[in-house]
Amino acid sequence: MSQDVQRVGQVDTMALRVHGIRERMARACARAGRDPAEVTLLPVSKTFDDLAIREAVAMGFRRFGENKTQEIAQKAPLLKDCNVQWVVIGHLQTNKAKDVARLAHELQSLDRLELAEALDRRLQSEGRSIDVLVQVKTSPEESKSGLEGPELVNFLRQLTRFDTLRVQGLMTMAVLSDDEQAVRGCFAQLRMLRDMARQEAIQGITLDRLSMGMSGDFELAIEEGSTEIRIGSAIFGSRPRM
């Protein structure tokens, strides 16, 4: 079988996967009394190659989530003709701020003032501004990153002094558990924190977006108010072995 034939088969498989995800999104929205148009699907392309991303681009996707700026730097030149917008969703070391300022259109894992300051300096040098989401820790797992909930309002107030950072909303990762109530609780907590922060009426910050939900739990996230789900393997298939 030729590589071209194999590739066509993979496009069909990806199309079926995406169709299935969108159907599940619609059913979750119906259960929550929401309009499916309120929820965006963000493909997470970490570890997948440029050809896989091109397949997704052919289906109409333009924004892609990546954990590491190194991967964006490798893929961006290969996809220059696709007008891809890169969304950094992984924990970011401060010394990688320069890469985000140069390559990314959005950062969903802003969780500390030191990083905000570094990003602002680098973005000013690049003459750019980007959308950012504040990552909040709602899981008890030590492996999960994010700002502690009680710190959110003060952190948001401090972010208002950075003109290069357009604060759009919040992001979280739920606990990895088979306990549906524990997972749902993480998403509900983020929504409640968003509502509390809105009551403070911080100038210029409306927190319209809630990025929460991945391949294994996105339906619960949608039922709890997610406006964007981050889906990797359920779109692209099994991740390549590194």
**pLDDT at residue 1 in the model:** 38
For residue 66, is it within any domain? yes
For 203, counting Cβ atoms within 10 Å of its Cβ (0-12 exposed, 13-18 middle, 19+ buried), the class is: exposed
pLDDT of residue 5: 42
Whether the pLDDT of residue 164 is over 60: the answer is yes
Task: Give the number of domains in the chain.
Answer: 1
Instruction: Answer whether residue 42 is part of any domain.
Output: yes
pLDDT tens, 205-214? 999 999 999 9
Domain contains 183: yes
CA dist., res. 212 & res. 200, Å (int) = 22
Give 40-58 pLDDT, tens digit per residue. Answer: 999 999 999 999 999 999 9
| Residues 118-155 as b or e (16 or more Cβ within 10 Å = b) | bbbebbeeeeebbbbbbbbbbbeeeebbbbebebbeeb
pLDDT tens readout for residues 83-98: 999 999 999 999 999 9
Look at 10-14, 29-33, 76-80, 107-111 and tell me which has the smallest mean pLDDT.
10-14
Give the model confidence (pLDDT) of 12-34 as tens digits: 589 999 999 999 999 999 999 99
| Claim: this prediction has a pTM higher than 0.75 | yes
Would 222 be classed as within a structural domain? yes
Residues making up the chain, counted from first to last:
242
Residue 223 pLDDT grade (very low, low, confident, very high; cuts 50, 70, 90): very high
Which domain range does residue 127 map to? 3-236
Nearest 10 degrees: CA dihedral of 116, 122, 124, 130?
Answer: -60
What is the rounded CA–CA span in Å between residue 105 and residue 74? 16
Q: Percent of the chain scored above 90 by pLDDT? A: 88
Q: Is residue 137 part of a domain?
A: yes
* 20-52 residues labelled b (16+ CB within 10 A) or e (exposed): ebeeebeebbeebebeeeebebbbbbbbbebeb
The CATH number of the domain where 150 resides is what? Answer: 3.20.20.10
Using the predicted structure, report yes or no on whether residue 3 has a pLDDT greater than 70.
no
Nearest 5°: the CA angle 84, 88, 94 is 135
CA dihedral sign, ordered 232, 221, 192, 38: positive
Domain for residue 241, yes or no? no
Structure tokens at 228: 């964007």
The sign one gets for the Cα dihedral 132, 92, 144, 37 is positive
Q: Which residues contact 148 (CB under 8 A, 6 or more apart)?
A: 136, 137
3-state secondary structure of 207: coil
User: 204 in a domain, yes or no?
Assistant: yes
CA 78, CA 52: separation in Å to the nearest integer? 12
Q: In this structure, are strands 40-43 and 228-231 parallel, antiparallel, or unpaired?
A: parallel
Per-residue pLDDT band at 9 (split at 50, 70, 90): very low
In a domain, 82, yes or no: yes
